[in-house]
Amino acid sequence: MSTIPVMIPWLGEEEAQAAAEAVRSGWVAQGPRVAEFERAFAEHLGVPHAVAVSSCTTALHLALIGAGVGPGDEVVVPSLSFIATANAVTYLGGTPVFADVDPASGNLTAATVAPLLTDRTKAVVAVDQGGVPVDLDPIRALVEPRGATVVEDAACAAGALYQGRPAGSTAALAAYSFHPRKLLTTGEGGMLTCQDGELAARLRRLREHGMSVSAADRHAGGGAGVLETYDEIGFNYRMTDIQAAIGLVQLGKLPAMVGRRRELAARYRELLGPLGERLVADPAHGTGNFQSCWLLLPDDAPDRGELLARLAADGISARRGIMASHLETPYKGTGRVPLPATELITRRSIILPLYHSLTEQQQDTVIVALLAALS
């Protein structure tokens, strides 16, 4: 029996040709295509600066450096997120402080963040979980007067809209993922967007070992008389030109990807009938890209592991729902407040197959198998 996977990236001949052209150019490391991808991504979002990096995790790390996070600082984060969100705080010697989420969207709210703010709070990382845009403005209104920064973890959110604008575009700092599970993929890779030009220049240096003159600029100048300096400790967080070449093609396909996924999600909602209200949906303040189409199982559902095994036996590759970082070994016992919505979603949700090339016939197969497993 052929398997219906949970996700297939939409990659084709155009991406293959773009990557081959980068290889044939002789410039495969960070170079002109990375710069072009940064410009195109910034233009797509309507932001002044974009910094291409090796992953969303490295983008988050640099964003928190830009927010001034250091040892002893606290950063409020959702536990309901991939563990990289909390880890990026820990890398800097900060303390991730776990907040609960809205049970409908899976996102932080001003109400869940407020009880956790202290005089040690340096930042809040607000995640667009599964591509559902977080309601950022009330969180910024709460946090920024205290001198803290709101960083948007837009890992899943390329193509989502917040109040009519691209998700992440209104944040001081936002981080995006181009992992194959995301709509727009470069294999691995990420992007950091920034409103401040001086900070963007610093973050570009930090992604390249803190080098004052990039390797691309040195080569463009012929290498003569260009001596770089290293004024602070940096990292090797560079994206390659091969990845950027693929990203440029993917960026052009993004509106079609979002449109198709929204059509399929609407069809899931319609055909799942009584379970439809439990499928993740658009919030009042924006539209999601359905990077993950997660479903909250009903109270009388069979054991989730058993249900996933039944779907697998029918050739359907679904997944457990979004993880809760505070339940994992590195962060167990560190919570300050109860997280009931987080624990409900992580315990009782599953992620359904959803990707650009999913056919209606395949979707019908998923729905029939799911309803049978639930019964």
Distances (CA, A) of 324 to 4, 28, 98, 101, 211: 26, 38, 10, 11, 37
Q: For residues 203 and 98, what is the distance between their CA atoms, to the nearest angstrom?
A: 27
Select which of 122, 182, 253, 332 is catalytic.
182
332 is catalytic: no
User: Exposed (0-12), middle (13-18) or buried (19+): which is 227, by Cβ within 10 Å?
Assistant: exposed
Q: Which helix (H) or strand (E) holds 52?
A: strand 49-53
Sheet of strand 286-287, all strands in order from the earlier edge strand to the far edge: 165-166, 161-162, 286-287
- CA nearest to 192, candidates 288, 66, 86: 66
User: Exposed (0-12), middle (13-18) or buried (19+): which is 264, by Cβ within 10 Å?
Assistant: buried
- CA nearest to 97, candidates 346, 334, 344: 334
3-state class (DSSP) for residue 73: coil
Q: Which residues are catalytic?
A: 182
